[in-house]
Chains A and B, each alone.
Chain A
């Protein structure tokens, strides 16, 4: 058995194809999308110049003084207008970011199309309103300048985090989702290829011919496939953490539990992949599982700090795995992760038994 396990590991490190899918592909995915998200995060802080138009119907009021102080501190640049309509024209021409109109203790913000600047101005105005309770405010956007009685934040975080002491960035969410996705795809495809590779090399019959029992051969192949998945998960987690400063769980114990959860899920998926791979005769398991995985991942949806992609069903395995991973990493809730480990153990046991029975009955090629 050890000989087969050793051979599997040796093959992994010698095969350029396998190394690409196990190490380079996940690293590349993390690198490309991680860089992109890092830039998005940077852009969140890099607000740029805010040009605020200001018009007041009466004498200088507290709001005007407030904005003037902001201008003096270099936070915004201020331009005065006689009417809001005049300022709105400038906003439409993208010469102004927004306009604040102050009238009888009521501030109306006319916002342009630059979301981050709008958010900053909204925050500044909200701060002023909090300090100066005599003012009320309303907001209007350029498309539908309907006056509101209170400023509504333009965007909301779709996911909230627990008080775990981590300031989450986009890459944190992405790293967790990506780890689950790569593990899901890699385990299923890897499982399917386990025996198909032997058929392709025409070595399967030589394994059958050896004095080892088929059950032992089957188990050795299953165990031999495990390093591929372990390396795959470890590579994504390490690359995300080291190169992109991604955070998984808040402490080492939870990170270990996350790894255990991913590993047990990977083993379960591997056993499913192996079993289905044994049933296939003409279709390449890798191609089939890649297709199934992409479809499942597409319909499962995902979420991050500011993006929510609604899935077709919340009960698809990739979604459930993501949920459990997020529950653990964002809130420190271990229950879902433990449920995944328990369910994976059951699936693994069932499919290893089915797989071993099927392998024992399989005819020579």
Chain B
């Protein structure tokens, strides 16, 4: 894969306030790239600079190999933005909205009509083409917002929290659309506050805080930054003649186990992150004649990574 978006040493100051501080990252062509950060971390500023809405103080941004300052108009043609706010005209129908936004990119005539219809079909709004946004549900408006952002077939789609305030069904649909867009060859930069969404959707994730890049990588790479282990809790019935010390000693000697703790009828076992097969451990437990009542896996998720990297204090 080749780099499609390259952000190098980006600095954006508002007076004395530094919103983005020497930020660098790159997005591969055809990947879904998650941009995470607490409120005020600099996500929106970074996106505003990438989309050419805002200029930068220092640094460079290249999209499709073109510097956004030098090739502003050409770069704009490559980008489609789905903003967090629903940005549609209430008095125009769904298809008129999509047509209007696509026409801003120079698409005309039959091609425009086809692009508008395709965008509506893609977002499941083909049968609502004549409906005005004011008569649509929240989920439908969100999908129309997406249709307006993608109708001109952009190579880079920037989605800023596109699932805010929608029900689970609509969210599922939207996430599926994004995956299809990626599969069609589009590069997607995606921001959200829903960690599970980002974890499920994004090929790589960048976490930024106070304008700086804190971490960047796949979900597993990010987890490995904060811990090398995952754990599971096993509920059992400890017999009266149970030799706890021997059990711990023997269990820790297993190749994937890092630590063991027994607390009443609950045994907590920490393993390496790579461990995906627990059959050896369970076999070992049975040798000690311990019944397995339930097992709860505790894999560190993006939420805990995010909180570890960006802190717990409110912003």
Contacts and interface: CB of A to CB of B under 8 A. Distances in A.
Contacts of A131: none
Contacts of A15: 91
Nearest to B72: A211
Contacts of A201: 87-90
B105 A206 contact: no
Contact of B105 (A208, A210, A364): A210
B175 interface: no
Interface string B91-116: 11000100011011110000000000
Nearest to B100: A7
A203 interface: yes
Contacts of B96: 10
A364 B85 contact: no
A332 B221 CA distance: 84
A206 B158 CA distance: 12
Contacts of A210: 76, 101, 104-105
A201 B148 CA distance: 14
Interface in A309-365: 363-364
A93 interface: no
A212 B77 CA distance: 10
B101 A206 contact: yes
B231 interface: no
Contact of A209 (B79, B85, B88, B91): B79
Nearest to A212: B104
Interface residues of B, number: 27
A203 B53 contact: no
Contacts of B90: 201
B87 A203 contact: yes
Contact of B54 (A7, A207, A363): A363
A209 B104 CA distance: 9
A208 to B, nearest CB: 6
B83 A205 contact: yes
28 contacts: A3-B103, A10-B92, A11-B89, A11-B91, A14-B92, A201-B87, A201-B90, A202-B83, A202-B85, A202-B86, A203-B87, A203-B88, A203-B89, A205-B53, A205-B87, A206-B81, A206-B83, A206-B87, A206-B104, A206-B148, A209-B79, A210-B76, A210-B104, A210-B105, A211-B73, A211-B76, A211-B104, A211-B105
Interface of B: 48, 51-54, 73, 76-77, 79, 81, 83, 85-92, 96, 100-101, 103-106, 148
Interface of A: 3-4, 7, 10-11, 14-15, 201-203, 205-213, 363-364
Q: Which 3 A-B pairs have the closest CB atoms?
A: A14-B91, A210-B104, A364-B53
